[in-house]
Structure formats: C-alpha cells, structure tokens
Structure 1
Amino acid sequence: MKGSIARYLLSRLVLMLLVTGVLLAQFGLLWLDHSLRQYTGQQLQQQAQSLLFSLIRDEDNELVVNLRHHDARYLQPFSGQYFIIRINDEEFRSRSLWDFPWPSQQPAQGQLFAGPAQQQLLSYQARYRLDDSEVLVTVAEDYQPLLERFQRLRIRGLAGGALALLVIGLLQWWLIRRALKPLEQARQQLRELESGQRRQLTGQVPEEMQPLVRQVNHLLAHIDEQLKRSRSAAGNLGHALKTPLAVLNSLLARPELQQQPGLAQLLQEQLQMIEQRIDRELSRARMAGEQHGGLLFVCDEEIPALLQLLQQIHGSHVRFDYQAQAGLRLPFDRDDLLELLGNLLDNAGKWAAGQVRLRLSVSTRQLLLTVEDDGPGIGPGQRRQLVQRGRRADEQTPGHGLGLAIVQDIVNALHGQLELQDSELGGLLVSVRLPLAGPHRSQN
C-alpha cells in the first residue's frame, strides 16, 4: 500500500459509510412507501365497507346509494375521492368522477394509476353479496399529495444523511488521526535518532507497535556494537603498526643508510606513504557508522575551543576569524565535524600569511561551510590531485594534502560536496556543502 495510511483508512470508511447509508436510505424509503400505501389501502377498505352500508332500497325495492351522511368530496368533481358501485348490471358513480372513463381492467392492489386532472390514484375493490344481488365496490383516492410529502421527506432525509455522513466522516478523521498519533511520534523519534538527539526509540507506543520498536532498538544496539568493534580493531591495528614504523624511521639515521642517500630518501618516502595510508584508513574506520548514536554539534561550544587550540599551535601571527549564526546546532557526529574543521583550519593555518576565516551558514536543509586563508593558494591543476590522492603541494609542509583527503572522505560519508576555489583574501578557499538530516537551530 502506497500513500498515507490516514487517507487510505478515511477513504475506505467514507466509502463504506456512503454505500451503507445509500442502501439503508433506499430500503427505508421503500419501506415507508409500502407502509403508506398499505395504510391508505386500509382506509379505502373502510370506505368501501361504509359505502356498502349506505345502500338502501327504494320504493321499487331496488338497491340505491344514499350519500346523505357520506364524505362531501364524493359530490365535488375531481376532488380526489371516488367510488364506483356495480349492483348486478347497474353502475353507480360518484359525482366527483364526472365523465372520467374508469379503466376497464382493475389495477393491482397497491399499484398507482392515472386518474382525472393528472392525479395518481390508489384504489381498492371488493365484492359483496346482499340478498340476491352481487355488489362490486371500487373506491379510489388521490395519492399525489402523499407522493409530494414523500418526495419532500426524501429530500430532507438525503440532506440529513449527507450532513450525518459529513459529521461521521469528520469524527472518523479525528479518530484516525488520534489513533495514528503514535506513528507520528515514532517518526519524530526517528528524526531525532538520525540527527543524534536520541540513541533509542521509547517503548511508550501502542501494543501493536512494541515489536517494531524492540526490533529497531535491537538493530541500533547491534550496529553500535559492531561499530565499536570495528573502530577498536582498526585503532589497535594502527597502533600496532606505529611501533614498527617508528623503528624503521629510526633506522634512517644509521650510518649504513647515510652512505646511500638515494636508498634512504626512497625508504623515507615509502614510510611516509604508509603512515598517511594508516591515518586515512583509521579516519575512514571511525566514520564507518556515520551518525549512528552521534550527538549534535553545538557550534558555540566546540568551535571557540578548537580555534583556541589552533591559535596556540600556529602562533599569534595567524588570526582565526569565525562567523556563524548564534545558537547554531548541527545534526552531525561531533567527532566527524571536529576532524573536518580541524583539518581544514590546520591546513589553512600552515599556509596563511596572517589570516584564516571560517564561515558557517544554514540555508534550505543545507549547511555551507567555508575556510579561506591569505596564503599563496593552490593552482587549478593541483586541486583535484590534492583531494583525490592525498598528495602534498609542498613536500616541506607535511600533512596538507592528507588533511584535504581526510576531509574529502568525511564529506563523502556525509553525502556532501567539497570544492576548492580562489579566496578573496588571496589564498585558497575550501567550501563544503552538507545536507541537513535534522533540526539545526536550538530551541529556546
């Protein structure tokens, strides 16, 4: 199932309510119409019996109809109240029928048929036996007023049903939103987990979601444990190699190698390459878990301390400037961002004549970080080579290219972009763009 669960449930419930409402309304209207016709038929039956009792004998001992005490509407043309009485071969018609020709075939019980003045008639017919005479009494009544009332009732019922459906739909929408609120809370927790604001999901969820939360927390704990083991193993390996490398570096000062300067220089270069490779792979191993269980990077706390440390390293002749919006908090692993900034600022401090500038700005779901210096800069032909291979622009200034290569690894791990440009200060400008996965401003 794709799309919103809330919309899916609401649409299905509304459809079910609509179909159920239409069916109930249709059956209700049919039942009401049947009941009205049945009730009218009972009234017509009573009228037929009343007309039967109105038969009297005249002076010639013939049966005639006496309407003296009957409904006056029988005497008013097209009044809507009609009768026909057949006694043997003689027929008596109510004056209200006037000259309207009665259907030759009696309509079925409860069936409407056309009467005078476009009326819809409902009739009742019964046979009786009086003495030696056979009496056929047919009475009819205009059903049109009841049809009109029935139509008005139907319209009101449909309007009321539509209003009730709207109210029920809104109520169902509210109930669905309330029922799915734990999912929204879980989604918010996942965002906080991604941004490093929490390490696990809370178990305060409905019973149906508890297995999912337990599995997610178990997976997070497993990933964190694997990450710790990986970092520990890489660190142990790196430290284990440091001692043999230190021994090899010390051998470069032996007289035997001093007598062969070419071999000593080649050995020194290879040892430096091994050290750079170890440092870079250790950095990659530390970033293997990209933000799992990380903490927010609070710029106002971390950057001033970092700049103070760099100021001590590079001396007072290099000024480090820092510009960022107040209260900026970034959803990145603290160690990753410290290593990224440390490498960039350290490289800039090595090459700067007197100024290094750091700027951080947040735009639409993106962090822009720039570090620039007033040093000699790097030519366009060397920039890509520096980043990709970790080589140094100046072999006498160690670590420059390696630092940029480590920065490139961190940027790639964070799905960002790294660019080298000319700075307005005259040196190199390094810009880093990182997508933001979570909230980046402190909440007051």
Structure 2
Amino acid sequence: MRLFRKPDSVRGMLLAILLPAGIGLMALAWFVHGSLLDRMSREFVEGRLQDEAAFLEHQLRESGGQTEALKTGGYFQEVFHHGFAIASGDSTVVYPRSWGTLLNPLLKSSQPGTVRIRDMDVGDAPSDLLAYRQSFAIGDSPVTVVVAEDMAALDDSQAELHVWTAVVSILLIILMVGSIWLGITLSMRPVVTLRAALRKLQDREVSRINVECPEEFRPLVQQLNQLLDSQDQRLERSREALANLSHSVKTPIAAVRQSLEDTEKSLSDRLRRDMAARLSDIDRQLEAEMRRSRFAGPQVGKSAFPVSQSRDLLWMMGRLYPDKSFELSTDLTQERRWPIEEHDLNEILGNLLDNAGKWSDRCVELCLSETREQLQIIVNDDGPGVAEEGREQLGRRGLRLDQQSTGHGLGLAIVLDIVKRYGGQAGFATSAAGGLEARVVFPASVRPTPEA
C-alpha cells in the first residue's frame, strides 16, 4: 500500500512540496525562537544580578561594611524586585526571609558566579531560582553578597510570549497557504489560456497559437507552432507532388496509350524506343517526386550526426567513383549533432557529393563547419565547373530534372527544396580548383520556413 500518491496536477504538486516545507520551516523558527528567548532572558537576568551585586558592594563600602545601616528605610525593598542575602562578619541579612533556606547555603559556599536552583519545595520559597554570588573584603572583614531572582514569573512571561508567537506563526502559515494558492493560480493562468487556444485550433477558429505567455511557456508554444508548420508543409508537399505527377505523366501516358490503341500501326523499333523513353520519363518523375515526399523538414527532437554520415557517404562515393578521391575537412567531433533530420541531411550530402564526383577530375572535398550563428556545408570539385550565367539555372524550380543543365543540375532541385524548408540558403561559385563550389548554410537554430 502506497503511503503517498504523487499528485496529478501541477497545483497539487506545488502544494505538496511548498506547504510541508513552509510549515516545517515555521515550526523550526518557532523552536529556535523559544531557545533564543530563554537564552537571552537568562543572560539579561544574569547581567542585572551582577549590576545589583556591584551596587550592593558599593553601598556596603560606603557604610564601612555595616549591614545594620542598610536595614532601615526599606531601601532594598524599593530598589530591588527580587531576593538578596548579605553576610558581613557575624551579621547576615536575607530578604525576603522565606528565601533564607535557599540563600543561606549559597552564602557559605565558596563557588562564585551564577547558580541555578531548580525543583526545590521549601515553604514559600520559589522552586526555580537564579542566583549570583560575589565575595569581597572591606578592610579585614570578608563580605559575601548573593542576589537572586525568581525565574518562575519570568518563565510564565516567556511561555505567554511563546504562545502568542505560535498563534502568530499559525496565522502566518494560513497567510502563506493563501499566498501559495494565489501564486499558483495566477501562474497557471497561461495554461488555461493555452488550453483555450488549442481548443480554438481544434475547432479551426485559428491556424496558429498566438497567446501571451510567460517566458517558460514560450518554447512550448514555439514548438507547437513549428509542429503545425511542419504538418502544413507536408500536406502542401503531398498536394504539390500529386499535381506535379498529374501534370507530368498525363502526356507520356496519353502518347503510349495512343500508340498501343492504334491497331493499324505496327510496333516498329523506333516506336518501341519512343515508348520506352516515355516510360523512362514517367519513372524518373515518379522517383523525383517520391524523393521529395520523403523530406521530413525540421522536427522536434530530430537530429543527425554530420561527421558520421559524411564519412559513410564519402566511403560509398569512393566505391562508386574508384578513380577519384573524396576528402573530409572539419573541426566537428564525431558526437556533434545538427538539428536536421537524418534522411534530409543524407539527401543534401548525397546529391552534392554525387554531382561533384560525377564531374570532378580527381578530387572532391567536403567541408563541415559550425559557428554560433550558422551551420555550413561546402562541397568543392576540380571539374569543368559551370559558367556564371548557368549557375542561376541550377536547381531552378519548374524545370524537370532531366532537362536541367548537364552535370551539376542533377538532384540540385531536391537539395534546394530541403534547404529552403530548413530556412537555409544555398549558393554556387567557382571553387579554388576551378570546378564548382556548392555552399549550403543553415541557421544554428533551425526553424521551419513556410512554403512559397
């Protein structure tokens, strides 16, 4: 049987943690207060007893040690509010007389300083007594002074004060509980607002979550909106792929169908080759759109290891083009992650390296770098390159892949689509070896970019 069940709500969890902690701290403060109050009271009484003993010594020295002179006029009864005893020679004075049983032994004792007498049941004498004993000499006559105070009355006052402190502490605990509840309620208001925004989103009243919320909730809202952007992008890509396929395959299929339905014409070799070419066009278009449909785009929690994936691809390209050298240049560690979906990064690196390997003479270099602001991929080759006016056409949207510029255009449309969806940029220039340099830059904090 579980003695404690974890609360299901944040409010319950906070109360389960803060309330016992607050009560425990308040109780500890109450006990510490009692201990300090008792210590301070004792030190105060001891100091006052020492002052009164010093005052008695002064009066006795002025009277030459004659205690009889002090008995008259009720002086001590008016000045002192507790008991005392004085022994000078053969003369002894004790006030009040009922304390004599307790104070006379202290006069005969040889121990100076403060003495606490407890649990004594002697007539009208107090049961809890704090006394201070001091000895001195006036001329040749020794004098002993004992000043004492009944601690019971002081303890009663302390107990009353301690009770009032407990009452105030309970009131403070109640106020603290109310403050905690109010603070939790106010802090949870953004959750209620967010829940209402999600309900509106579910009812199609809004397309994105746009609520004012504390800083702690902003990453959650951003991630939810990013997820919505990703879903919209996937839907748009699916629609676009269907439209492209519908537009691209209608004409070749119609041509092949017409040739097959025309029974008056025999299937010549030329017609067979033409039909095969048409079917190849359909196959390439299907493959291209299937590859586009697999783009994931920015996703929460998805990341890739760029160094590991690059090495695997370079090894594969080395087997595909055995007469060419593929090099990796990077300062990144093997464990470094980039916030890019693994398949998307493979598509980018694979297409760039395949194009560079196909048109390089001897060497292809892949450079991976990272700063606080951006992630960068650079692929250089030493091939013939592309003229400046032709670079603008590389990967241009609307061109079929098999109709793009020979060489470096193959697969670049896919690369540009992926880069765009990650909010990055791609550019082409002449490499240091005279070939083509393909540069892809992503922001360090990847965010989805809406479709154009």
Specify the TM-score bucket, using the shorter chain as the normaliser: 0.3 to 0.5
Tell me the TM-score normalized by structure 1: 0.45
Tell me the TM-score normalized by structure 2: 0.45
